[in-house]
């Protein structure tokens, strides 16, 4: 499980997160208070709020290099739209702690 901070003033509620997930990953369902989806190289994506942070757990599957790259770009787009931080900013924050 990974926890992601929200950029100041960018915090989203579960309804907003679900809307973004549906736009990006299409088929989204709710299980035990978590939003669940899948997309190409991500066999299972689980997202929920953990206090003031976004919690996410993913399970990968084997795909071609092209699909893996597309999966990574799409995952980063999702995290950017939800948290407000780019992949570069998230990496910097994670290496800081």
Stated pTM of the model: 0.92
How confident is the model over 24-62, as pLDDT tens digits?
999 999 999 999 999 999 999 999 999 999 999 999 999
Any bridge partners for residue 48, and if so which?
Answer: 55
CB atoms within 10 A of CB 87: 14
What is the C-alpha separation between 66 and 79, in angstroms, rounded?
20
Collapsing DSSP states into helix, strand and coil, what is residue 55? strand
**For the chain, how many structural domains are there in total?**
1
Domain that holds residue 17: 2-96
CATH number at residue 20: 3.30.310.190
What is the C-alpha separation between 61 and 39, in angstroms, rounded?
10
Task: Report CA 6 to chain centroid distance, whole Å.
Answer: 12
């Amino acid at each position: 499980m990974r926890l992601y901070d929200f950029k100041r003033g960018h915090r989203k509620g579960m309804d907003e997160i679900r809307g973004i997930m549906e736009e990006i990953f299409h088929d989204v369902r709710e299980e035990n208070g978590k939003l669940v989806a899948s997309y190409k190289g991500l066999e299972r994506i689980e997202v929920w709020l953990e206090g003031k942070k976004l919690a996410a757990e993913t399970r990968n599957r084997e795909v071609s290099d092209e699909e893996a790259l597309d999966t990574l770009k799409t995952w980063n787009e999702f995290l950017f739209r939800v948290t407000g931080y780019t992949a570069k900013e998230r990496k910097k924050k994670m290496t800081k702690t």
